[in-house]
Amino acid sequence: MPRVGIYGVGHLGKFHLNNWKEIPGVELVGFFDPHDDTAKEVSEKYQLVRFLDADSLMDACDAIDSQNNGTHCYSGSWIGSSVG
């Protein structure tokens, strides 16, 4: 069973989160979001593990769904290069 994590749970990230939860055979491990208010809201609403840094999330997953706005493009690129 592939283990998926989400980097960024803002507007688009929440759509992706809901879609991943509906796919049979996929384990949604948790998420990382640099915005504390958003992260707290999502953790409570969806009962998901909130990772406090991107490295911990990557270590726990087989795949990362990176959803970030234009100001965080570098972070998304870094994650992509780190996981393969």
Q: Mind listing the pLDDT tens digit for each residue in 35-62? A: 999 999 999 999 999 999 989 999 999 9
Per the model's pLDDT, the better-predicted residue between 33 and 70 turns out to be: 33
Q: Mind listing the pLDDT tens digit for each residue in 9-21? A: 998 999 999 999 9
Distance CA 83, CA 63 (A): 8
Per the model's pLDDT, the better-predicted residue between 81 and 1 turns out to be: 1
Q: Which domains does the chain have, with CATH numbers?
A: 3-77 (3.40.50.720)
Burial 40-62 (b: 16+ CB within 10 A, else e): eebbeebebebbeebeebbeebe
Question: What's the one-letter identity of residue 72?
Answer: H
